[in-house]
Structure 1
Amino acid sequence: MENLKLQYLKSFFTRSQLSVEECACKLKEWERIIRLCYAEPVQHSSDDFLRMVLIDACFKIEHFLRFYNYDRWVEIDPLLLQPWLANDVVFDLILLENQLPFFVVEGLYNLAIPHHETLDLPSFVNVGFNYFKPHNQQNIRPEKVLGVVHFTDLLRTFMLPSSFDRRIRERRVDIVDHLYSATRLREAGLVFEVSPSTCLLDLIFHKGVLTMPCIKVHSSTEIFITNIIAFEQCHLLCSPNITEYIMILDFLINTGKDVNILVEKKIIVNLLGDDDAVATMVNNLCCNVTLPYIKSDYRCFCDQLNAFYENPRNKYKAIFIHDYFSTPWKIASTVAAIVLLLLTFIQTVCSIVAVFKKGILAMSYSCKKMRQHQII
């Protein structure tokens, strides 16, 4: 990859007609700000540090541009010729430890644009959106995204509600330490339904029905979610929206049986093929994660689900439905039994009525005989 990065670097300078000195000078202006973006002091000299930033930034720009003009590059680009390798690069670009500040990559891109305006290239945000398009399930528009700090943050943004305001940090004061699993909730009569919403955070509970958006679980899901959670844990101004969602999913899923329930309802699309593997993955996502507080909406949501399970009436109703109406055969036999019982009841009533009428007639006849004897 190091040799490939140098090839991309050369291609970038050829494409933009920029000089190394121009880019190095601009990076020198930003160096102090760039260093402050990292959690710990960067133990490199100025020249070594800026060299690494320049190579990585230009590689990302050139790679994104080649992917943007896919048809032109697919038969000559070393990465695009090998889809598995290009896929590995996507994973590397997701990793939190591999991030460059977004303003650096965008700044170098904008610096290069005046040198080739005739190519009619889009903004770097548009190029980045095109590259990560498969992750943009909500089709969020580039102009709606402001203040992204790096690519991991961009991917997190794709998962947030379109109306989410990044500038406002929501206050979280509630704690959730328990929520019944999907299996237990269904035993209590809870109905799971898939939501048409494309935002994973749209969890709705209403009148015994829990509606959840569909989530696809594949081989890269763990890498994807883990890095977003790590970002939310590290960034002081970042609300833990995705962490809260995963925590609730972790409560709902304890075993492969819980996963199977959600798969049946199309809430989870299991591309791993093994329900137990999905359960293990979800449970591992929250390991070593600190979430002391949760927003009040989720606290209320969890309390409602727990209260539904703990209501005895819901349990007895669910047991009755499961024992007598869970399958077509049980429904048919239950209806037949009810009809037979009803007919037996009607027959009994008719027999009692007939006996009662016969008794009345006998009494009436006896009384008539007695009156006749008295008259005589």
Structure 2
Amino acid sequence: MEEQPNGYVSELESELIQLLEVVVLPEESEIHEQCIYKVPQLIRQNNPQAYTPRFISIGPFHSPHGSIIDNNNLYEMEELKLKYLKGFLNRTNLSVNDLVFKVQEWENKIRNCYAGLVSFDSKDFLKIIIVDACFIIEHFLRYISYKDWMETDPILLQSWLLDEIEHDLILVENQLPFFVLEEIYKLANINLELPSFITITVNYFHGLNLQNINPERLCPKHFTDLIRIFLLPSSFDCVKEEFGNIIGHVYSVSQLSEAGLVFEVTESECLLDWKFDKGVFKIPCLEIDDSTETYMRNIMAFEECHYPYQDSAYISQYFTILDYLINTEKDVSILTDKKIIVNLMGDANEVATMVNNLCKNISMPRFNSKYVSLCHGLNGFYENPRNKYKAIFVHEYFNTPWKIASTITAVLLVLFTLIQAVCSIWSLVK
């Protein structure tokens, strides 16, 4: 390779120095504050719609301000946000100056919560945060006073739109830091007349709070984190050990069933409360509908980004094991018959496909010790010689209606032949 002229080298050196002058390395504290992420492309490509707001953008990642977004719904909702902002100011007697002054103090802290490029300047960024935060607070306040607003509020008037707003508010890319909402709520002194903002928030998402977790002890980072917290048990054995590939394989529901394992549904409202003892596998009920995939994908994407060592990726652990257990629609049908899965999607094959696709391109989590013990127990049950040969026998001779019919026919034929032989011998002897 020919040497470049010295002038070229000097020019390159000067250009690199200028570029590096504007580069600011993040401090460790700033990295720890990150909690709102853009979903990695490798995960997003499995189902882009599951991570993209359909009707309302919250925060800078999907804001239509200063960007080209091919979604008229997001633009139309911007006007509605301003109406809610005005309603919030009228309700609280706060001034725009009060909001701007206070939120400006938190700007760096808010920016540090976003892991990814936020290209808006200070003015536009603060405008997005203020408008979106006040919209959410006012929307939640109207929801908690539903009877007073049900005939006048443009969102509460249309139940389908209310569902769409709730859908968009749980997306991991479509978040505001929870502390911003809480501090603005406190600034308005609304908490003197109404419950705390976390209580109002939990009331809004009550349909997802199956365990009826007490809101006053919750400290979510944002709404996606809150929905994840709803799924976690109040106490969980968080032993952090590197288990590597110990759980490399778990037998499917149909295989375990053929081996004689009994599946039972438990009354526990916590999805993670799986128990296996003496050939009985007790599993909490999992209700699956059209929105389940979106909720779970966003929670798992949050875990993937926020827990890089996967120690606390409990929902990812849950669905990884469920992915092992469910391979076909037959596995889903068995769990549905046992009331362990409530299939509101109708098609068992569609449920199996959803479960199998949820973990695609998600890092293999490091499993909690309870799950490791559970999976070893299930595998040990199947691999017990007596159970294993029973499973092989059931699979070979009783796996389908045709096999059952042919097996019974063969058994009857042998039985009749035996009876005929005995009768013939008996007649000869007599």
Shorter-chain TM-score bucket reads: 0.7 to 0.9
How far apart, in 1, do the equivalents of 2:117 and 2:158 lie?
37
- Note the C-alpha offset of 1:172: 3.4
Deviations 1:68-106 (Å, cap 9, x if unpaired)? 001111111111111111100001001000110000011
How far apart, in 2, do the equivalents of 1:318 and 1:97 lie?
46
Other structure's SS at 1:194 match: strand
Match of residue 297, structure 1, among 367, 370, 375: 370
How far apart, in 2, do the equivalents of 1:241 and 1:186 lie?
26
CA contact (8 A) 1:170 1:239 kept: no
Other structure's SS at 1:97 match: coil
- Root-mean-square deviation (CA), in Å? 2.7
Deviations 1:105-141 (Å, cap 9, x if unpaired)? 1110111126x84xx2111011001000010000101
Query: Number of aligned pairs?
Result: 330
Q: Which residue of 1 aligns with 2:339?
A: 266
What letter corresponds to residue 311 of structure 1 in structure 2? N
Matched, 1:43 2:119: yes
Matched, 1:247 2:320: yes
How far apart, in 2, do the equivalents of 1:170 and 1:289 lie?
21
Q: Which residue of 2 aligns with 1:161?
A: 233
How far apart, in 2, do the equivalents of 1:291 and 1:36 lie?
28
Match of residue 233, structure 1, among 301, 304, 310: 304
What letter corresponds to residue 229 of structure 1 in structure 2? M
Mark the CA change 1:321 to 1:291 in structure 2 (over 3 Å): closer, same or farther: closer
Q: Which structure 2 residues correspond to residues 184-333 of structure 1 after superposition, within 5 A? A: 184-236=255-307, 239-317=312-390
Q: Which residue of 2 aligns with 1:130?
A: 203
How far apart, in 1, do the equivalents of 2:307 and 2:388 lie?
43
CA contact (8 A) 2:313 2:365 kept: no
Mark the CA change 1:286 to 1:320 in structure 2 (over 3 Å): closer, same or farther: closer
How far apart, in 2, do the equivalents of 1:31 and 1:124 lie?
21
Other structure's SS at 2:378 match: helix
- Note the C-alpha offset of 1:198: 0.5
How far apart, in 2, do the equivalents of 1:99 and 1:173 lie?
32
Q: Which residue of 2 aligns with 1:77?
A: 153
How far apart, in 1, do the equivalents of 2:266 and 2:391 lie?
23
How far apart, in 2, do the equivalents of 1:103 and 1:192 lie?
43
Other structure's SS at 2:155 match: coil
Other structure's SS at 1:98 match: coil
- Note the C-alpha offset of 1:143: 2.0
Matched, 1:173 2:242: yes
How far apart, in 2, do the equivalents of 1:236 and 1:292 lie?
10
How far apart, in 2, do the equivalents of 1:248 and 1:292 lie?
10
Other structure's SS at 2:333 match: helix
Gaps of 5+ in 1: 345-350, 352-376
CA contact (8 A) 2:343 2:351 kept: yes
Q: Which residue of 1 aligns with 2:180?
A: 104
Deviations 1:132-177 (Å, cap 9, x if unpaired)? 00100001011232x3100110110000002259xxx641311322
What letter corresponds to residue 281 of structure 2 in structure 1? L
Q: Which residue of 1 aligns with 2:30?
A: none
CA contact (8 A) 1:254 1:279 kept: yes
CA contact (8 A) 2:254 2:331 kept: yes
Provide TM-score, normalisation by structure 1: 0.82
CA contact (8 A) 2:325 2:331 kept: yes
- Note the C-alpha offset of 1:43: 1.1
CA contact (8 A) 1:180 1:251 kept: yes
Match of residue 139, structure 1, among 179, 201, 212: 212
Deviations 1:269-303 (Å, cap 9, x if unpaired)? 00000000001111111011002521222112111
CA contact (8 A) 1:192 1:211 kept: yes
The structure with the largest alpha-carbon Rg is 1
Other structure's SS at 2:106 match: helix
Deviations 1:8-33 (Å, cap 9, x if unpaired)? 11100011110011011111110000
Q: Which residue of 2 aligns with 1:25?
A: 101
What letter corresponds to residue 158 of structure 1 in structure 2? F
Other structure's SS at 1:247 match: helix
How far apart, in 2, do the equivalents of 1:105 and 1:46 lie?
19
Matched, 1:151 2:220: no
Other structure's SS at 1:185 match: helix
How far apart, in 2, do the equivalents of 1:320 and 1:194 lie?
27
Q: Which residue of 1 aligns with 2:51?
A: none
How far apart, in 2, do the equivalents of 1:164 and 1:15 lie?
42
How far apart, in 2, do the equivalents of 1:97 and 1:152 lie?
9
Matched, 1:16 2:85: no
How far apart, in 2, do the equivalents of 1:172 and 1:109 lie?
41
CA contact (8 A) 1:173 1:295 kept: no
Other structure's SS at 2:276 match: strand
CA contact (8 A) 2:316 2:365 kept: no
CA contact (8 A) 2:110 2:177 kept: yes
- Note the C-alpha offset of 1:318: 5.4
Other structure's SS at 2:282 match: strand
- Note the C-alpha offset of 1:34: 0.5
- Note the C-alpha offset of 1:315: 3.1
Q: Which residue of 2 aligns with 1:95?
A: 171
Higher helix share: 1
Other structure's SS at 1:96 match: coil
* Residue identity (%): 54
Other structure's SS at 2:248 match: coil
What letter corresponds to residue 306 of structure 2 in structure 1? H
How far apart, in 2, do the equivalents of 1:41 and 1:33 lie?
15
- Note the C-alpha offset of 1:51: 0.2
- Note the C-alpha offset of 1:260: 0.4
